[in-house]
Amino acid sequence: MPSGTALGAGSTRRYFGTDGVRGVVGEDLTVELVERLGKAATLWSGRGRVFIGRDTRGSGPELEEAFARGVVQAGGNAVLAGVLPTPAVALLALDLGVVISASHNPPEYNGVKFFDRDGHKLADAQEEEIEALLDAPARGGGSIDRIDVATDSYLAHALERFGSDLSGLRIAVDCANGAYSGLAPRAFEELGAEVVAIGDEPDGTNINVGFGATDLAALSHEVVESRCDLGVAFDGDGDRMLAVDGNGEPVDGDQIVAVLALAHGVDLVAVTSMTNLGFHRLMAERGIRVLTTDVGDRYVLEALHREGGVLGGEQSGHIIWLEGHKSGDGLVAALLLCAAVEGRSLAEAAAVMPRFPQVKEDVRVSSRALPQAILDEAEALNHALEGGGRVLVRPSGTEPVIRVLGEAETAEEAARLCATIATLVRRELG
């Protein structure tokens, strides 16, 4: 069982964070930077056929065009697919796959995510190589193509490989006013489910606002009000999925991975340092080996590829299933979860995993570099807890905050642990 050893920030990358390049449009993320990224990434890829999708943010079209201009400057071929979930881009990547998206972040944010020609997220060293090419001279001679069949190709793949008969199931589907709008409800309907769709009317300004995997309140209300069997919520670009049971109670990524692990009889799962201690306890009881990585679904993916595993995920809703896929996929995770429930209620299926209370706090800071004093205090606390609880402190990869987690067998003890470290962070970095 992991102790929750504190993590520091060791990357030398200037623009890349936990998942690509991300920031507030016009401030941290400018049109010029995105154009330079297009040129640099195309030069780095070696061949230059770049498949590009985006989510529903209002800034998306302008940034998509900027990235495409960069591809052209590098002599590449930009293939623009329009609004498309991130996992679809991973499946359809050419020499490079790119998504203009800030995932679960608010509408004022946007970003650029990258996949290599095999549909894998880039390693830290590869991102550093791209940054080194930002000021490389342009070659010119590239081209831009636009296609409109990518959505249908992705949907057909998802239903054929991961669909099951959902007749008789009444499901609420929250699309976060993002890339799955229209697409995810259609998928469940084609499998026979009765669908109640919410967060399904994107207007460029409402992605992740009051809907989606970052805010389950609307979905919980809809499930109870419409008497649904369960609900699923995606984030804006579709690589995250969380669920709500028939009572309106949230089911997080740890519980979803646990349900899938038992349903599919896997012998190995990969999760992150945020994963609940109750998950580790259940996996130990069932003889399933657990790999624990740093926070970020790409680290989970790296661990699965390294160890030959197929299932992994994050508490936040990145669920990864690699038989027939290449990355985390919100829709695929939802389809697998519906199949794994197998006649039970979702509440019954999820109850197999005990949950330790967790208390989290994001401390806003001017510097995300963690002093050794904070790391030492966290380590001392974890040593004293002897596996009966833990603290975790880490810098966010996408925001100017330090994330603090306290976990214990009681909510009171978890809150005390979290407050101890959060107070120290504010004193040292506030």
- Starting at the earlier edge strand, list the strands of the sheet with 289-293: 289-293, 268-272, 311-313, 319-321
Two tokens, residue 83: 């609004």
Q: What letter would DSSP give residue 241?
A: E
Which residue bears the tokens 């302008």? Answer: 62
Short-list 417, 352, 411, CA closest to 390: 417
Short-list 165, 201, 166, CA closest to 182: 201
Can you tell me the distance from the alpha carbon of 318 to that of 340, in angstroms, rounded to the nearest whole number? 17
Can you tell me the distance from the alpha carbon of 421 to that of 197, in angstroms, rounded to the nearest whole number? 41
Helix, strand, coil % over all residues of the chain, rounded to 5:
35, 25, 40
- Residues 44/128, Cβ–Cβ less than 8 Å: no
What separation in angstroms does the CA of 26 have from each of 22, 205, 207? 11, 15, 18
Concerning whether 103 is annotated as a catalytic residue, the answer is yes
The residue annotated as part of the active site, out of 103, 273, 316, 396, is: 103
- CA 404-104-401 angle, 5° bins: 30
Two tokens, residue 46: 């070696």
Query: Would you name the residues annotated as active-site residues?
Result: 103
